[in-house]
Amino acid sequence: MRTRPRRLVVAAVALLATTAGLPATAAERQDSHDRHEQLSHGGLSAVVRYTEYGIPHIVAKDYKSLGFGTGWAQAADQVCTLADGFVTVRGERSRFFGPDAATDFSLSSATGNLSSDLYFRGVRQTRTVEKLLAQPAPRGPSRQVRDLMRGFASGYNTWLKQNRITDPACEGAAWVRPVTQLDVAARFYAIAVLGGQGGSVDEITGAQPPTAGSARAEGSGPPRTRGR
Residue 20 has pLDDT above 60, yes or no: no
Residue 151 has pLDDT above 60, yes or no: yes
Lowest mean pLDDT: which of 23-27, 125-129, 204-208? 23-27
Cα separation, 52 vs 33, in Å, equals 5
Lowest mean pLDDT: which of 47-61, 125-139, 140-154, 208-222? 208-222
Mean pLDDT across 38-48: 92
Residue 158: which of 36, 93, 74 has the closest Cα? 74
Cα separation, 203 vs 185, in Å, equals 24
How confident is the model at residue 194, as a pLDDT? Answer: 87
Contacts of 75 (CB under 8 A, 6+ apart): 82, 155, 156, 159, 160, 163
Average pLDDT, the chain: 83
Residue 24 has pLDDT above 70, yes or no: no
Task: Write down the domain spans for the chain.
Answer: 5-21+61-204
How confident is the model at residue 6, as a pLDDT? Answer: 45
Cα separation, 31 vs 16, in Å, equals 24
Q: At 134, is the pLDDT very low, low, confident or very high (cuts 50, 70, 90)?
A: very high
Percent pLDDT > 70 in the chain is 78
How confident is the model at residue 220, as a pLDDT? Answer: 53
pTM confidence score: 0.78
Residue 7: which of 179, 128, 110, 177 has the closest Cα? 128
Q: What are 197-226's pLDDT values in tens digits?
A: 888 888 888 888 887 765 555 555 555 555
Contacts of 127 (CB under 8 A, 6+ apart): none
Contacts of 139 (CB under 8 A, 6+ apart): 5, 6
Residue 94 has pLDDT above 50, yes or no: yes
How confident is the model at residue 21, as a pLDDT? Answer: 42
How confident is the model at residue 81, as a pLDDT? Answer: 96
Helices (H) and strands (E) in the chain, counts: 10, 3
56 SS3 class: strand
CATH fold label, 5-21+61-204: Penicillin Amidohydrolase; domain 1 (1.10.439)
DSSP string, 140-197: S--HHHHHHHHHHHHHHHHHHHH-----TTTTT-TT-----HHHHHHHHHHHHTTTTG
How confident is the model at residue 4, as a pLDDT? Answer: 44
